[in-house]
A and B are shown apart, each in its own frame.
Chain A
């Protein structure tokens, strides 16, 4: 299993666009990907569930990838956070 703690720099947090971007990346990978924030664990392949976690700017988020291609998955997600989801 791979795990990393990340932060969203976007002023409005993980709102609609970055949340869907994150889900899009997660969906590309066969492994199980979970997002943990504010004490909630949600499926990172579901934009709806990501948004429902209500993640604000600079909230600490833990991403856990488990299964096939877990390393590639976590690296791509980390990269996306670093680039602020292109915003």
Chain B
């Protein structure tokens, strides 16, 4: 079995069509008639431009945009200036001049440390090959007329070839090079064609018309598969289709247990763009919008306006649903180039998140101003990360009040009902939940850090990975204290860690009375399906039993069995 990186989910079974191109032999001979040679080059280039325009006519949407950008590059005189000079002044033949001239341009892009720009290298390379083929009078591959059930196999599929593909008969794509951001990868995902990239020497392993079966999720490729392997993949394909069909039913349904206990399933997002995925999957709100993307990959502190635009965008797209935005959570494993935090021996126990914001209120205030200004565009809630004591809430709220006062003085409108809540991710906060709840509007439990801090286990350390588990009875007790603490003050309690979408863990959370479950958008529908299968009273009984257990293993086993039973 061959293996690559699956970049477009699905199962494809079909016959291989190899995309091999004729290589033109190029030598550096010189010509007698420079004028004629230059005319010939211009004619060939013009024909390639015409071919491209013809391809674009049949396209629409993103694919047309991509090819239009390609066309503009092809028509840019800077692309062929050097080539023309090599013909006009030095008298080289046009094929050689094209090779050398275009390669000079390729070099600029090849060395860029940016995935998107690197793709331009492939574009220029493709243009070079097409012009040279035109000069040598080699016709282009015909990709518009492929037989049914074709799996394309190639070293690379260029932008122009991608545009020419007739997708109707293509059931899979395998590429030796390429990345997730290649045009062909984007196209494969848009059209839901299973695709795999990064398979070394694939053209040596597979022959024309070989029977192939591929799994676009795992990246597995079966060359001449056995009937057994085909059956297995077909079953998997059927299952995937059924699951997808089944889950989509839950998009507009409520997250409500059999006995009528209503909760909410929200989405965790990292950028405003993720809102599309959240809404497609029926999110009832945003439980965690990480604001870090604004600060990371940037050379300077994001301005108030930049932040405002991002928050406004998310709030508008949420169409009245609650959006919980977490304030700056850097430090720990996330550092910023322009904010010199210094090296720490123990960054997870060090200067991070709210601790930075309280010590450097100028940074915090810019974010708060942007948040309150954006509050006019939707239902905003603000969440403070890494709270370990009540003083931190009080201090943060003082700064918030100052910002509100400033805005009022300036005459800037904002929503006075913005909720301010805290993340519960440090054991001390869970233990003091009842007291903390009196001073804020909601809780959200961050299980990843809560587990790490409670058990003193680093998540990424393989030697001790067995110790890192949400089924640890101490962790469950802290979650219980947190939810109960919130409810005593009549505030809601959510969870935005990985545990919230684990179907074995959902019964405990329902039993404990968690109000809001926030997770990666792709997990929402299956979590909602699970919630709808549960009975709250039964879950409460399970919680009672679990609270009597002393080991993670027992608890995990009990819950695994329970989920099996109700599924």
A16 vs chain B, min Cβ distance (A): 4
Find out whether the CB atom of A46 lies under 8 angstroms from the CB atom of B114: no
Is the C-beta of A73 less than 8 angstroms from some C-beta in chain B? Answer: no
Complex CA gap A9/B303 in Å reads 12
Q: Provide the bound-state CA to CA distance between A17 and B65, in Å.
A: 7
List A residues 1-51 near B (Cβ within 8 Å). 9, 11-13, 15-17, 19-20, 23-24, 43, 46-49, 51
Which residues 102-143 in B have Cβ within 8 Å of A in the complex?
A: 105, 108-109, 112, 114, 116-117, 119-120
Indicate whether A16 sits within 8 Å of B306 (C-beta atoms), given known contacts A47-B72, A48-B78, A57-B297: no
Cβ 8 A contact of A13, one of B66, B68, B108, B116: B116
A49-B114 in contact (CB<8A): no
Do B105 and A48 touch (CB < 8 A)? Answer: yes
Q: What CA separation (Å) do A47 and B79 show in the bound complex?
A: 10
B298 at the A interface (CB under 8 A): yes
Number of A-B contacts (CB under 8 A): 62
CB nearest to A47 among chain B residues: B72
The answer to whether A54 and B114 touch across the interface, beta carbons within 8 angstroms, is: yes
Cβ of A59 within 8 Å of any chain B Cβ, yes or no, is yes
Q: Are A51 and B117 in contact (CB under 8 A)?
A: yes
Partner of B76, one of A11, A12, A13, A47: A47
Q: Is A69 located at the chain interface by the 8 A CB criterion?
A: no
Chain B stretch 54-75: residues in CB contact (< 8 A) with chain A: 65-66, 68-70, 72-73
Q: Is B271 an interface residue (CB 8 A)?
A: yes
Asked whether any CB of chain A lies closer than 8 Å to the CB of B300, the reply is yes
Residues of A within 8 A of B300 (CB): 58
Residues of A within 8 A of B77 (CB): 46
CB within 8 Å of A: which B500-543 residues: none
Complex CA distance for A57 and B532, rounded to whole angstroms: 43
Q: Which residues of A contact B119 (CB under 8 A)?
A: 16
Q: Chain B: which residue is nearest A7 at the CB level?
A: B306
The main secondary structure of chain B at its interface with chain A is helix
Decide: A47 near B73, CB < 8 A? Known: A15-B117, A20-B68, A57-B298: yes
Most B CB atoms within 10 A — which of A11, A48, A51? Answer: A48
Chain B residues within 8 Å of A75, by CB: none
Instruction: Give the docked Cα–Cα distance between A76 and B69 (Å).
Output: 20
| Nearest-Cβ distance from residue B88 to partner chain A, whole angstroms | 20
B114 A48 Cβ-Cβ under 8 A: no
B76 touches A48 (CB 8 A): yes
Question: Are B271 and A11 touching (Cβ within 8 A)?
Answer: yes
Contacts of A19 in B (CB 8 A): 69
Most chain-B Cβ atoms within 10 A of its Cβ — which of A11, A23, A51?
A51
Contact in complex: A58, B73 (CB < 8 Å): no
- Shortest distance from the beta carbon of B108 to any chain A beta carbon, whole Å: 5
Q: Are B116 and A20 in contact (CB under 8 A)?
A: no
Question: Residues of B contacting A56 with CB < 8 Å?
Answer: 114
> Do B72 and A23 touch across chains, with their CB atoms under 8 A apart?
yes
* B interface list, Cβ under 8 A from A: 65-66, 68-70, 72-73, 76-79, 105, 108-109, 112, 114, 116-117, 119-120, 271, 273, 297-300, 302, 306, 309
Which 7 residue pairs of A and B lie closest in terms of their CB atoms, listed nearest first? A16-B69, A48-B76, A15-B116, A20-B72, A20-B69, A52-B108, A48-B78
Question: Residues of A at under 8 Å CB distance from B?
Answer: 9, 11-13, 15-17, 19-20, 23-24, 43, 46-49, 51-52, 54, 56-59
Supplied contacts A16-B70, A24-B72, A59-B299, 16 more A-B pairs, CB within 8 Å: A15-B117, A16-B119, A17-B65, A17-B66, A17-B69, A20-B69, A46-B77, A46-B78, A47-B73, A47-B76, A48-B105, A51-B109, A51-B120, A54-B112, A57-B297, A58-B298
